[in-house]
Amino acid sequence: MVTTCSLSTLVGYSQPVEGDESQRDPVIWDVSFEGNENYSSVVLRNVISARSPNFFRKLVRSFDNYRLDETELRRDGVRIERYYGRRGYDQAEVEVEISEKGDEWKKNVLFKIREGEPIRVKSASVVIGEDATGAGALDLSEPFLKDAYDHALREGQPYQTIRIPEVEGAFTEKLQNNGFPWAEVSVEAEVDSAGKSADVKIELRPGAKSFFTNFMYDGIQTVPERIIRREMEIRNGGLFDRRKLQNAQRQIFGHHLFRFATITLPEQPRDSTLDMQVRIRENPPRTLETMIGVGSEDLLRGQVSWRHRNINGTGHRLGFNLRGSFIEQRIGADYLVPYVFNSRSSFVAAPFAQRRLEPAFELMRLGITNSLIYQIERAKTVTGSYEFTINEEVSRRQEVSLPDTVQGFNISSLAFTGYFSENISRDPEGWVLQPSIELSGTFGEATFRFQKLTMDVRRYEPVSSTTTLAGRINLGTIFYTQPDSLPSNIRFFTGGTNSVRGWSRQDLGPKRPAFLEGEFDGFVPVGGRAVFTFNLEVRQQLNFLFNGFGMGVFLDGGQVWRAIDRISERPVQFGTGGGLRYQSPIGPVRIDIGYKINPFDEDLGRFRGEDRGSAWDRIGIHFSIGQAF
């Protein structure tokens, strides 16, 4: 049976008689669209209020929020027509059709759309309004307006009234980026509905071309004005540019001395001189912070940090930190110079002492790292660092006979790393690239001379408003002339909570048997000089259950090889599984269960054909705070 909203009236709601499905209130079982050639169903679903229950709600028969309301469906038809109308389709018509889906109370809703032909822009002109000061300083042929002509209301495009604010904003921004802070823009159009055409006129009123003249500061307590001026990198007498203001505000806000910053134009005469208002709020000069966390690998971790900001009025920062877990204990200090040769450059010296407890080895380190950091843009940073450490590496299995039980060595290395991202947000989108190169022994004072290259590539692709497809590939290789003599701390290891799930920490890759008093006592991972891992994960929000809840399913894979020319010796191994997520105030709380698809005998505890393990060796359970990548 098929019904249309314009011709029929639905039966009133009534409480169902127990066991009688025919008395159930009508429920929207499915929503679909027909005739929508220019706008997808995914887009139109966000326009209407009608919703159908998802698979889970259908399974548990939770339909309270999906009852069919004919009046609301008519309104949805109007909403779709208005949506098309604001985008140039002034004669779009929508008919709502209702049909049964098997049972009488299950209703399919179909929106049948007749789009019609849109009104198109016949001509689009840009003119300068009656403003002598602006007209004398602005030439429409200048290059700075060239790309502004590529706008949503150009000739041949549908005349979309919804795009008028966008066009006005784009031209205003262009003018403000080129010295006109008081610019105003308006769009007017003569529409011929019968001829399906529109003549568009974009009027620019630039106002005065202005220059930065004076800065007024509010909120200063301990930080000298010269530091704020230095971070802004805006000089008196410079031509107004809105981009400079935005960058200056970001630079101040990102500085460790400040917790809040705004730069605004106060009320003033609209002439060639500009007074700017800078409001800041300083961070406390000294802070003490403590943090605590849990995870399936480090079990319990904690950190205590003390910071002293603005040492002697220079803006420098001195800090001490102590952190510990069942994997690592570290004490260190850091001295930050936030301005080296401009506000985007900084220098950090960080001496430290560290003890690490990995599955195969124990490492004690004492050293210092000196880093020069340069922020190219907000999401593009490069770092050059020099590290010198004195190391002692000890086998975790001291009672077990191994060829490299104790090893002492020095590391002296230059490292260059980069971070490049398409987007900065709590939920990342687009590409993220993190290349790195480490050169050890360049100055001859290192025990081992090697070159280490790594590349981490990530992609975050939103599939819908609640679903994200995330992927990562990690590659690495070490060039070294003496086979198998590098300490474990330098080699690559993989497996664990944030790499290939299904395996425990650093447990994926080549292993060797260990013996205690002549008896087999398990396998010890040995690492290698080449590594490859990948992760593919679908992240699904489940906010309809409760806010912040979600789930993920994943396929991970990877391998470690003794050298890059021995890749053919070991195939890539895979782990798959899924887990639950909760978006807490401190980050995503995550629990994953991974399953080894193609483990080797040593992954399952089998030695010389004898099974020394258990069924649990094929499964990895991972709990942590933060996404896997």
Which residues, in sequence order, are CB contacts of 367 under 8 Å at separation 6+?
351, 352, 387, 388, 389, 390, 411
Whether the per-residue pLDDT at 7 is higher than 60: the answer is: no
Does residue 175 share a domain with residue 96?
Answer: no
| End-to-end CA separation in angstroms for the chain | 51
Helix H or strand E encompassing 598: none
Please check whether residue 329 lies inside any domain of the structure: no
Q: How many residues are present in the chain?
A: 629
Instruction: Decide the pairing of beta strands 273-282 and 211-218.
Output: parallel
Does residue 30 share a domain with residue 135?
Answer: no
State the virtual CA torsion across 324, 325, 326, 332 in degrees, nearest 10.
-30
Please check whether residue 316 lies inside any domain of the structure: no
pTM: 0.77
Does residue 390 share a domain with residue 262?
Answer: no
Please check whether residue 302 lies inside any domain of the structure: no
Does residue 48 share a domain with residue 185?
Answer: no
Whether the per-residue pLDDT at 404 is higher than 70: the answer is: no
Q: How far apart are CA 276 and CA 266, in angstroms?
A: 7
Does residue 88 share a domain with residue 150?
Answer: no
- Looking up residue 93, the CATH number of its domain turns out to be 3.10.20.310
225-264 pLDDT, tens digit each: 989 998 888 888 899 999 999 999 988 988 999 998 999 9
Does residue 619 share a domain with residue 530?
Answer: yes
Cα dihedral across residues 603, 609, 612, 613: positive or negative: positive
Q: How far apart are CA 233 and CA 245, in angstroms?
A: 9
Q: What is the pLDDT of residue 17?
A: 41
- Looking up residue 509, the CATH number of its domain turns out to be 2.40.160.50
Q: What is the pLDDT of residue 402?
A: 42
The residue from 71, 91, 114 where one domain ends is: 114
470-525 pLDDT, tens digit each: 999 999 999 987 766 788 889 999 999 999 999 999 999 999 888 877 788 888 89
Cβ contact 243:177 at 8 Å: yes
Beta bridge partners of residue 380, listed in sequence order: 377, 420
Residue % of the chain over a pLDDT of 70: 91
Task: Note the Cα 95 to chain centre separation in Å.
Answer: 41
Which residues, in sequence order, are CB contacts of 580 under 8 Å at separation 6+?
549, 550, 551, 552, 590, 591
Task: Quote the Cα angle for 580-582-583, to 5°.
Answer: 145
User: How many domains, the chain?
Assistant: 4
Does residue 124 share a domain with residue 90?
Answer: no
One-letter amino acid of 145: L
Whether the per-residue pLDDT at 400 is higher than 50: the answer is: no
Whether the per-residue pLDDT at 18 is higher than 70: the answer is: no
Q: What is the pLDDT of residue 21?
A: 52
Please check whether residue 430 lies inside any domain of the structure: yes
Whether the per-residue pLDDT at 85 is higher than 80: the answer is: yes
Does residue 191 share a domain with residue 64?
Answer: no
Q: What is the pLDDT of residue 239?
A: 92
Q: 275 vs 38, 212, 270, 395, CA distance in Å? A: 48, 7, 10, 66
Does residue 216 share a domain with residue 240?
Answer: yes
Please check whether residue 332 lies inside any domain of the structure: no
Residue with tokens 């009104």: 119
The residue from 180, 205, 230 where one domain ends is: 205
The residue from 146, 178, 205 where one domain ends is: 205
Q: How far apart are CA 249 and CA 287, in angstroms?
A: 24
Q: What is the pLDDT of residue 141?
A: 59
Cβ contact 340:315 at 8 Å: no
Q: What is the pLDDT of residue 399?
A: 46
Does residue 83 share a domain with residue 14?
Answer: yes
- Could you tell me which of 77, 61, 75 has the C-alpha nearest to residue 27? 61
Instruction: Tell me which DSSP letter residue 528 carries.
Output: B
Mean pLDDT score of the chain: 87
Does residue 566 share a domain with residue 518?
Answer: yes
Q: How far apart are CA 376 and CA 366, in angstroms?
A: 32
Please check whether residue 324 lies inside any domain of the structure: no
Please check whether residue 320 lies inside any domain of the structure: no
Whether the per-residue pLDDT at 143 is higher than 70: the answer is: no
Cβ contact 515:524 at 8 Å: no
Please check whether residue 88 lies inside any domain of the structure: yes
What is residue 152's three-state secondary structure? coil
Whether the per-residue pLDDT at 55 is higher than 80: the answer is: no
Look at 134-148, 309-323, 528-542, 605-619 and tell me which has the smallest mean pLDDT: 134-148
28-46 pLDDT, tens digit each: 999 999 999 999 998 999 9
Whether the per-residue pLDDT at 187 is higher than 90: the answer is: yes
Does residue 513 share a domain with residue 618?
Answer: yes
**Where in the sequence is the domain holding 26, given as residue range(s)?**
2-114
Cβ contact 276:263 at 8 Å: yes
Task: Give the residue-averaged pLDDT of 167-196.
Answer: 92
